[in-house]
Amino acid sequence: MQKVIVLDFGAQYGQLIARRVRDLRVYSEIMPCDTPAGEIAAEEPSAIILSGGPASVYADDAPEVDPALFDLGLPILGFCYGQQIMAKTLGGMVGHTEVGEYGPATIKRVAASRLLDGTPEEQVVWMSHRDSVARVPEGFAITSSTKVCPVASMECAERNLYATQFHPEVRHTTYGTQILSNFLFGICGLEASWSMDNLIDQLVDDVRCEVGADRVILGLSGGVDSSVVGALCARAIGKQLTCVFVNHGLLRKNEPEEVEEVFTKQFDVDFVHVHAEERYAKLLAGVSDPEQKRKIIGTQFWEEFFAVAQQLDGVKYLAQGTIYPDIIESGARKTGGKASTIKSHHNLIPFPEGVSFDLIEPLDHFFKDEVRALGTALGLPDHIVWRQPFPGPGLAIRIIGDVTPEKLEILKNADAVVREELDAYNARLYEETGERNSEHSCWQYFAVLPDIKSVGVMGDERTYQRPVIVRAVESTDAMTADWAKLPYEVLGKISSRIVAEVPGVNRVVYDVTPKPPGTVEWE
Ligand code: XMP
């Protein structure tokens, strides 16, 4: 498979570039900028992209690149810091421009350019720099400039080396996609052939090769990642896979049944439904501290899981739904082996004495939206593929105070109303905009049950019952979030339905706190 390696000089840039390359249907992976050239060559990439990064090339701890990289004979493209490090390494010079450039800028072509081929002589690009190349290395031509940046792009076509001071990966660079396409297809001669279908064939083959005739165990949580791993392994190895679904009783209404339905009717795997509801209820009785609840739930999950695992004969592999951002964020990387031993981000798995599995992580090179596309292509239903984020400790951290069966029942029913109404609201927006996460769609939405009661009146009777808090946020990554500006009619309908349909609730309130200062969850 043809592959482009992005050398990352500052995490967020690398991810974005890899995404853009994949969007153009060329497979792309990220490696740390200081990876030795030999290790990069061993990956047999078709091309290399040097990302931008926040440092100044002359700072004491500025990230360097192995100079031997430029002798590999591979096409190389650098953006921003990537251009500067290319220039510095190859004998050019980088200096401070008098004024930095941040935001849109207009570049003007000053020489013929393979990289900018087919784009206008003058065009708007996205700049974000203080330093810039002051003298290009020997053999390079300056191909475009802005008023303050003499080397907005440069190239040495003979050696297939190209670079821009601006960021083609950013949408604000009007012809960014064309520039990237010029590099991938025009210069490197790659094919836009990376697609979900051939990807599935390849992943299925990989899992089969790795596992052979051995057995695999997988903990299903109902979430997107573990479900997609389940569907993929089901296609690859069928009954050699045992899916263990630990039902802690804290999932949302109907979710356990939905998970069971999919993995027993749609996929032909060995499915174990562990009914642990009562054990969890006992452990959680009387516990109101949020961290303690989390700890109890997490510890018990592994107890339940390993109790099943130890009863199964000949299980060699543990499948995990680790995805690419988990790997990048934890700094852990494959060591080149297939089923690599436990990596830092898995240290939390408390294997009991004498128990060990090799890990397989078939999704560890994919971004969340690619995992979703994979799930759909494997036949998983939308309600799983597009499931909103849901915390591992489940509804226990949406019940403030201790968890009781009565409170759980109220919360499940109220939450079902919130989801039904806001699923419909999101579906209307999707129909209007064609985007799943459009400007006003809700990203995460649910009900919370506080530990108080309030007075109300229903019919002629005074009531003293529970309020329900509705939480709905707009976000892209949960790091920050804003409360969703839902239309009053939608809020009104949620409120009247909850009070009418959920016994024990006489009041509904809406949480209008952004994150920060609030968090998405209440506990
Ligand atoms: P907060 O409440 O910190 O949540 O703003 C950010 C995102 O993380 C989810 N979340 C969790 N997910 N285990 C999880 O797997 C947890 O303990 C947990 N706590 C919060 C939350 O739903 C939101 O999407």
pLDDT in tens, 357-405: 999 999 998 989 899 999 999 999 999 999 999 999 999 999 999 999 9
Alpha carbon nearest to ligand 1 atom 10, residue: 391
Is the Cβ atom of 511 under 6 angstroms away from ligand 1? no
* 146: its two tokens: 């802005």
Query: What pLDDT score was predicted for residue 11?
Result: 64
- Ligand 1 center from residue 391 Cα (angstroms): 5
How far lies 303's CA from each of 27, 296, 320, 457, 513, in Å? 39, 11, 17, 46, 37
Residue 388 alpha carbon, nearest atom of ligand 1 = 24
Query: What pLDDT score was predicted for residue 484?
Result: 97
What architecture is the 404-510 domain classified under in CATH?
A: 2-Layer Sandwich (3.30)
Is the Cβ atom of 294 under 6 angstroms away from ligand 1? yes
Name the 3-class secondary structure at 33: coil
- Over residues 263-289, mean pLDDT: 97
Is the Cβ atom of 222 under 6 angstroms away from ligand 1? no
Choosing from 520, 522, 523 the residue with most ligand 1 atoms within 8 A of its CB, the one to mutate for a pocket test is 520
Query: What pLDDT score was predicted for residue 178?
Result: 98
Give tens-digit pLDDT for 198-256.
889 999 999 999 999 999 999 999 999 999 999 999 999 999 999 999 999 999 999 99
Q: What pairs with residue 76 in β-bridges?
A: 48, 161
Query: What pLDDT score was predicted for residue 330?
Result: 61
Cβ neighbours of residue 288 closer than 8 Å, sequence gap 6 or more: 400, 401, 402, 451
Query: What pLDDT score was predicted for residue 1?
Result: 83
Q: At residue 123, does pLDDT exceed 50?
A: yes
Is the Cβ atom of 142 under 6 angstroms away from ligand 1? no
pLDDT category of residue 348 using cuts at 50, 70 and 90: low
Proportion of the chain in helix, strand, coil states, percent, rounded to 5: 35, 25, 40
Cα–Cα distance measured from residue 40 to residue 49, given in angstroms and rounded to the nearest whole number:
12
Task: With beta carbons less than 8 A apart as the criterion, state whether 417 and 495 touch.
Answer: no
Alpha carbon nearest to ligand 1 atom 7, residue: 478
Q: Which residues are catalytic?
A: 80, 167, 169
Superfamily designation of domain 4-187: Class I glutamine amidotransferase (GATase) domain (3.40.50.880)
Query: What pLDDT score was predicted for residue 328?
Result: 67
Do the first three CATH levels of 4-187 and 404-510 match, i.e. the same topology?
no
Lowest mean pLDDT among 60-69, 144-153, 328-337, 456-465: 328-337
Q: Do the strands 358-360 and 444-448 form a parallel or antiparallel pair, or are they unpaired?
A: unpaired
Residue 475 alpha carbon, nearest atom of ligand 1 = 24
How far lies 217's CA from each of 168, 230, 272, 324, in Å? 43, 10, 10, 21
Alpha carbon nearest to ligand 1 atom 11, residue: 391
Q: At residue 282, does pLDDT exceed 90?
A: yes
Cα–Cα distance measured from residue 450 to residue 410, given in angstroms and rounded to the nearest whole number:
11
Average pLDDT, whole number, for the chain? 92
Q: At residue 98, does pLDDT exceed 80?
A: no
* SS3 assignment for 256-271: HHHHHHHHHHHCCCEE
Cα–Cα distance measured from residue 391 to residue 415, given in angstroms and rounded to the nearest whole number:
14
Task: State the distance between the two ends of the chain, measured CA to CA, in whole angstroms.
Answer: 45
Q: Do the strands 358-360 and 315-319 form a parallel or antiparallel pair, or are they unpaired?
A: parallel
- Ligand 1 center from residue 430 Cα (angstroms): 25
Query: What pLDDT score was predicted for residue 55?
Result: 87
Q: Where are the domains of the chain?
A: 4-187, 197-385, 404-510
Q: At residue 37, does pLDDT exceed 90?
A: yes
How far lies 209's CA from each of 212, 320, 374, in Å? 5, 17, 20
Residue 515 alpha carbon, nearest atom of ligand 1 = 5
Q: What is the DSSP string of 343-369?
A: PGGGTT--PPTT---EEE-TTTT--HH
Tell me the CATH number for domain 197-385.
3.40.50.620
pLDDT category of residue 349 using cuts at 50, 70 and 90: confident
pTM over 0.85: no
pLDDT category of residue 327 using cuts at 50, 70 and 90: confident
Query: What pLDDT score was predicted for residue 331?
Result: 55
- Ligand 1 center from residue 152 Cα (angstroms): 42
- Ligand 1 center from residue 516 Cα (angstroms): 14
Is the Cβ atom of 392 under 6 angstroms away from ligand 1? yes
What strand order describes the sheet that includes 315-319? 270-275, 241-247, 215-220, 315-319, 358-360
Give tens-digit pLDDT for 395-442.
999 999 999 999 999 999 999 999 999 999 999 999 999 888 888 899
Is the Cβ atom of 389 under 6 angstroms away from ligand 1? yes
Query: What pLDDT score was predicted for residue 347?
Result: 47
Alpha carbon nearest to ligand 1 atom 24, residue: 389
Q: At residue 20, does pLDDT exceed 70?
A: yes
Lowest mean pLDDT among 60-69, 342-351, 354-363, 412-421: 342-351
